[in-house]
Chain A
Amino acid sequence: MAGEKAVKYNEQVIEEVVAQVIKEVMKQRGVEQTTQGKKEDYSDAKVATKGTDPKEVVIGVGPAFQTQIHRTINGLDLGQVLDEVKAGIEEEGMHPRVVKILKTSDVCFMGLEAAKLSGSGIGIGIQSKGTTVIHQKDLYPLSNLELFPQAPLMSLETYRKVGKNSAKYVKGERVTPITVENDPMTRPKYQVKAALMHIKETECLDEKIPYIEWNA
């Protein structure tokens, strides 16, 4: 009896806390929404096509990337993130190309779409919150070459290394393992923020245009 009561009590508290947090975030968002919350109109944008350059690595960014969301979950500027990944690819002698994926907000599917557009068959998927995957066009969506699931622990150096590794996959070279931090507290700490950012990204999906060239 006592146990049941305690559970009920906990659930109630959690609901209240979540409601509070959402309310708080919505309030912040409310301010943002007036300036940049609107869904973009991409009807004039150039639809991305499959590349033919065998040295190409396509970076597929999320629907809200640099439009509705400008920083990753741990505050890295998305422009800088993109620059680092591109620099990593360039340093290895390969050619980066950026597209914006509008048909999905799932990082693995984004990575796979990018890979399919890439002349080399290697692509990178980056969600606006920072979660990143390196993919290859022939793999199953949920399989991948490398996944960096803990976005809050990513740094600009890590993004540079992601770019380097993706280029090494193109060259058929052995990749350098990227040391990723692992913090068991990340999940509870960022769960709500991650969920909200993901919802926001998903809201920006566009049913008509699957992907566009992105040169922000």
Chain B
Amino acid sequence: MSLVAGVDIGNSTTEVCIGRIEGGDIRFLSSATHATTGIKGTVDNIPGIVSALEEAMGKVRLSTSDLEYIRLNESAPVIGDTAMETITETIITDSSMIGHNPSTPAGVGTAVGYTIHIENLSKMVADRPYILVVGKEYGYEKVAEVVNSLGGYIKIVGLILQADEAVLVWNRLDKKIPIVDEVLRIDKIPDEKMAAIEVAMSGQVIRQLSNPYGIATLLGLNAEETRLVTPIAKSLIGKKSAVVIKTLHGYIAENVLPAGELYLKGEDGKEYAVNVDAGAEKIMALSNVAGRLSDVQGQKNTNVGNMFDRMKDSMSRLTGETKESIHITDVLAIDTLAPVQIAGALAGETCMEKAVGIAAMVKTQQLPMRKIAEELQRQLNVDVAVAGVEAAMALLGACTTPGTRLPLAIIDMGGGSTDAAMMDDAGNMRMTHKAGAGELVTLLIQTELGLKDRNEAELLKKYPLAKVESLYHMRLESGEMQFFAESIDPRYYGCVVMLAPDRMIRVEEDIPMERIVEVRRDAKRKVFVKNVVRALQEVAENGDLKRIPNVVLVGGSAEDFEVPEMLTESLSQYRIVCGRGNIRATEGPRNAVATGLVMSGTSAKR
């Protein structure tokens, strides 16, 4: 009879499992989880290991000195990193448009007229329609008075205001006209230029100015000019109000930034080049052609070159290896859109620019687990062994999930990489590590929503959302209503909140809940579903997914509130039974490796 502890040091949590081995039988006594102290694979991990062990032993009223031996995981020697690069940029020249979402424009409809600043009133001529441009130094009462008094002789068909007073002015006008407000740089609007103004009905978006032919109709453009205004129409899609000004050369251009080329080196020595502008799909297709990679490089002095340089820098810092010896063995590229402020904009307009998110993975030397084992042995005075490859141990542990049988595959979705391992009936094992996992999802969420804070994106990934609609009820993202007897803290009123287990967290940006949910789901699907299929194809016999009957999800990301369901759904088309693991029928997807370490202890003992 002997007491054995399995210890699994992960990037974020350290998990232990305690088992009693009698003859060939194992009885699992307890388990515990503690946050990993320090960076995974360094001796700083020891305090976390010790606390976790003490907690687990304490549950069965034993102390760590009662242990006969401890088995540590030999973690996968891969680390991953992510980066993002925008590949297009939009520039407005000659102030040719205004298109933003002021919270309260006023007056519904479209109008065409000549722009004129309020200071140049005297230059106006009768029988000509004007769009009046007013600075914020003129109050709403004054503006309304001026427009009303001109009404008799000069036609004012639209208003562009710098201040946020559209509704106030509109309420005081004798003749109602469309008004766009909150335009910061009215000084850049030229006088005496033909312009079209449009304000959408509340709850709707503009129709005319987001349509090239709509602009052509209003401003009387020929076919060639219409072709040139297409980018303007495109960038006005989804706006609540807009102004398009007809200037000679002033158009808006979408530039493709020279992102640079990516060089994929196959293990067979062949090199494949692809331009990042081509997008993620081309990059991934080429990566498929190249097969197993020996390294990936970016073109020198280009955006992508610098991006890979930075990645290799940070990885070499982490592993203590020289930058030259860092080889990228897998990349995952994903197309995305990032809201970027348009250069030359009058009202702080943003445009969704194309971007490519890239996750890369690097094989490193073995992490210094040996050192941790020695130090732990010294501190606890218990035999410590580094035993078993992580993936194999996770497989063993995953087998304790009720309802599984060999052949079995496991998927471990972590922060940096998605790992898969597969064991067939004969006990042969194959495993693989793919770049891109939780951190890439976080980066995609951050980019697409234009968040400043990475931490907020991380939280948005983890928790479901709700919109606090009154002090006593909120609408969950599922559409359900939840009511409260006590009032919700007024700080959350009207906000989108994240529902963490013990509290609500306010989303600081003003983004509709539906949009966040869409972006979050899309990012998870793009990364996890794609990577799981990629990984399973590599471990499956002949790359045939249908030969895998069971897939068990283990690790932290398996606890995500929607990823397992997404995978179950998308893998069902290959007739794969896929689901969140339930280690030892009690632990859920956690503790697989620690459990596997204890289980492998019996055979080691024998």
Contact with B along A128-150 (1 / 0, CB 8 A): 00000000101100011110000
Segment at the interface with B among A29-37, A63-71, A171-179, A207-215: A171-179
B496 surroundings in chain A (CB, below 8 A): 174
Report Cα–Cα, A188/B166, bound state, in Å: 41
Report Cα–Cα, A136/B468, bound state, in Å: 15
Query: Is A90 on the interface with B (CB-CB < 8 A)?
Result: yes
Given contacts A172-B470, A173-B494, contact A138 B168 (CB under 8 A): no
A145 surroundings in chain B (CB, below 8 A): 490, 493
Query: In this complex, which of A171, A172, A174 has the most chain B Cβ atoms within 10 angstroms of its Cβ?
Result: A174
Chain A nearest CB, measured from B67 CB (Å): 54
Find the A residue at minimum CB distance from B472.
A138
Query: Is A206 on the interface with B (CB-CB < 8 A)?
Result: no
Partner of A174, one of B104, B165, B471, B494: B494
Report Cα–Cα, A174/B508, bound state, in Å: 10
Query: Is B171 on the interface with A (CB-CB < 8 A)?
Result: yes
Find the B residue at minimum CB distance from A147.
B490
Chain A nearest CB, measured from B459 CB (Å): 17
Query: In this complex, which of A91, A92, A169 has the most chain B Cβ atoms within 10 angstroms of its Cβ?
Result: A91
Q: Is the CB of B472 within 8 A of A143?
A: no
B470 surroundings in chain A (CB, below 8 A): 172
Report Cα–Cα, A174/B469, bound state, in Å: 10
Main secondary structure of the interface of A (DSSP, over half): loop
B471 surroundings in chain A (CB, below 8 A): 136, 138-139
Given contacts A91-B104, A91-B164, A93-B167, contact A175 B493 (CB under 8 A): yes
Report Cα–Cα, A56/B171, bound state, in Å: 16
Query: Is A87 on the interface with B (CB-CB < 8 A)?
Result: yes
Report Cα–Cα, A171/B510, bound state, in Å: 15
Chain A nearest CB, measured from B486 CB (Å): 10
Q: Is the CB of B166 within 8 A of A174?
A: no
Chain A nearest CB, measured from B321 CB (Å): 47
Contact with A along B159-182 (1 / 0, CB 8 A): 000001111100100000000000
Chain A nearest CB, measured from B162 CB (Å): 14
Q: Is the CB of B493 within 8 A of A169?
A: yes
Find the A residue at minimum CB distance from B172.
A90
Chain B nearest CB, measured from A6 CB (Å): 45
Partner of A91, one of B166, B469, B487, B494: B166
Query: Is B495 on the interface with A (CB-CB < 8 A)?
Result: yes
Q: Is the CB of B140 within 8 A of A174?
A: no
Query: Is A55 on the interface with B (CB-CB < 8 A)?
Result: no
A175 surroundings in chain B (CB, below 8 A): 493-494
Contacting residues of chain A (89-134) with chain B, CB-CB under 8 angstroms: 90-93
Report Cα–Cα, A160/B164, bound state, in Å: 11
Chain A nearest CB, measured from B202 CB (Å): 8
Contact with A along B48-85 (1 / 0, CB 8 A): 00000000000000000000000000000000000000
Contact with A along B230-270 (1 / 0, CB 8 A): 00000000000000000000000000000000000000000
Report Cα–Cα, A81/B485, bound state, in Å: 36
Chain A nearest CB, measured from B466 CB (Å): 13
Partner of B490, one of A139, A164, A171: A139
Query: In this complex, which of B165, B490, B495 has the most chain A Cβ atoms within 10 angstroms of its Cβ?
Result: B490
Q: Is the CB of A90 within 8 A of B171?
A: yes
A173 surroundings in chain B (CB, below 8 A): 103, 494
Report Cα–Cα, A138/B494, bound state, in Å: 16
Partner of B494, one of A143, A144, A168: A168
Find the A residue at minimum CB distance from B510.
A174
Report Cα–Cα, A168/B490, bound state, in Å: 13
Q: Is the CB of B472 within 8 A of A91?
A: no
Q: Is the CB of A139 within 8 A of B140?
A: no
B495 surroundings in chain A (CB, below 8 A): 174
Given contacts A90-B171, A93-B104, A172-B469, contact A143 B164 (CB under 8 A): no
A146 surroundings in chain B (CB, below 8 A): 490
Report Cα–Cα, A175/B490, bound state, in Å: 11
Contact with B along A154-181 (1 / 0, CB 8 A): 0000000000100011011111000000
A174 surroundings in chain B (CB, below 8 A): 494-496, 510
Report Cα–Cα, A174/B496, bound state, in Å: 8
Report Cα–Cα, A175/B469, bound state, in Å: 12
A171 surroundings in chain B (CB, below 8 A): 494
Report Cα–Cα, A171/B140, bound state, in Å: 23
Contact with B along A42-62 (1 / 0, CB 8 A): 000000000000000000000
Find the B residue at minimum CB distance from A139.
B487
Q: Is the CB of A87 within 8 A of B493?
A: no
Report Cα–Cα, A171/B103, bound state, in Å: 12
A87 surroundings in chain B (CB, below 8 A): 140, 165, 168
A92 surroundings in chain B (CB, below 8 A): 103-104, 167
Given contacts A136-B471, A174-B495, contact A90 B487 (CB under 8 A): no
Find the A residue at minimum CB distance from B140.
A87
Q: Is the CB of A91 within 8 A of B167?
A: yes
B487 surroundings in chain A (CB, below 8 A): 138-139, 143
Query: In this complex, which of A139, A144, A175 has the most chain B Cβ atoms within 10 angstroms of its Cβ?
Result: A175
B104 surroundings in chain A (CB, below 8 A): 91-93
Report Cα–Cα, A174/B510, bound state, in Å: 7
B493 surroundings in chain A (CB, below 8 A): 145, 169, 175
Report Cα–Cα, A92/B140, bound state, in Å: 14
B490 surroundings in chain A (CB, below 8 A): 136, 139, 143-146
Find the A residue at minimum CB distance from B475.
A172
Find the B residue at minimum CB distance from A164.
B164
B140 surroundings in chain A (CB, below 8 A): 87
Q: Is the CB of B168 within 8 A of A91?
A: yes
Report Cα–Cα, A102/B558, bound state, in Å: 61
Report Cα–Cα, A87/B167, bound state, in Å: 9
Report Cα–Cα, A6/B487, bound state, in Å: 50
Report Cα–Cα, A172/B471, bound state, in Å: 10
Contact with A along B461-486 (1 / 0, CB 8 A): 00000000111100000000000000
Report Cα–Cα, A139/B167, bound state, in Å: 30
Chain B nearest CB, measured from A169 CB (Å): 6
A143 surroundings in chain B (CB, below 8 A): 487, 490
Report Cα–Cα, A139/B469, bound state, in Å: 15
Report Cα–Cα, A173/B513, bound state, in Å: 12
Partner of A90, one of B168, B472, B494: B168
Report Cα–Cα, A146/B104, bound state, in Å: 22
Report Cα–Cα, A145/B104, bound state, in Å: 22
Contacting residues of chain B (493-523) with chain A, CB-CB under 8 angstroms: 493-496, 510
Taking Cβ atoms with an 8 Å cutoff, the residues of B that contact A are 103-104, 140, 164-168, 171, 469-472, 487, 490, 493-496, 510
A-B residue pairs in contact (CB < 8 Å), sample of 8: A91-B167, A91-B168, A136-B471, A143-B487, A146-B490, A172-B494, A174-B494, A175-B493
7 A-B pairs with the lowest CB-CB distances in the bound complex, closest first: A174-B494, A145-B490, A91-B167, A91-B168, A173-B494, A172-B469, A174-B495
Q: A92-B167, A139-B490, A168-B494 are known contacts; what are 5 more A-B pairs with Cβ within 8 Å?
A: A87-B140, A90-B167, A164-B164, A169-B493, A174-B494
